[in-house]
């Protein structure tokens, strides 16, 4: 499940690069052992700030959720987000970078 959560987090952060009013996505797949996973999410951007959120369900039925926002002002951007695993544990993360 950690691998799937990491993939979702990477997709969410990469999706923040394009300015858009709103977006949604869904996906899924089959792992090497035949287990399936599915995900759905969405987000929106306005005035230099983008937010996103969604869920992913792993091959054993556990669901994780994630969300966050990225704001850019001048040449500096900052991101704050979270991932909550199927057991209810939450990982908060943040970063700042310059363009």
Query: What is the model's pTM?
Result: 0.70
**HSE of 34, CA atoms in CB hemisphere, 13 A:** 0
Q: For 8-61, what is each residue's pLDDT tens digit?
A: 444 444 444 444 589 999 999 999 999 999 999 999 999 889 999 999 999 999
More confident call, 77 vs 1: 77
pLDDT level of residue 74 (50, 70, 90 thresholds): confident
Question: Which CA distances in Å does 88 have to 20, 34, 48, 76, 82?
Answer: 31, 26, 31, 32, 12
């Amino acid at each position: 499940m950690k691998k799937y959560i990491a993939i979702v987090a990477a997709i969410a952060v990469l999706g923040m690069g394009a300015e858009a009013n709103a977006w949604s996505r869904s996906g899924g797949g089959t792992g090497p052992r035949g287990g399936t996973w599915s995900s759905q999410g969405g987000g929106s951007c306005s005035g230099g700030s983008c937010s996103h959120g969604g869920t992913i369900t792993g091959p054993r039925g556990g669901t994780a959720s994630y969300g966050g926002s990225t704001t850019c002002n001048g040449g500096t951007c900052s991101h704050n987000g979270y991932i909550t695993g199927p057991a209810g544990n939450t990982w908060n993360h943040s970063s700042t970078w310059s363009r």
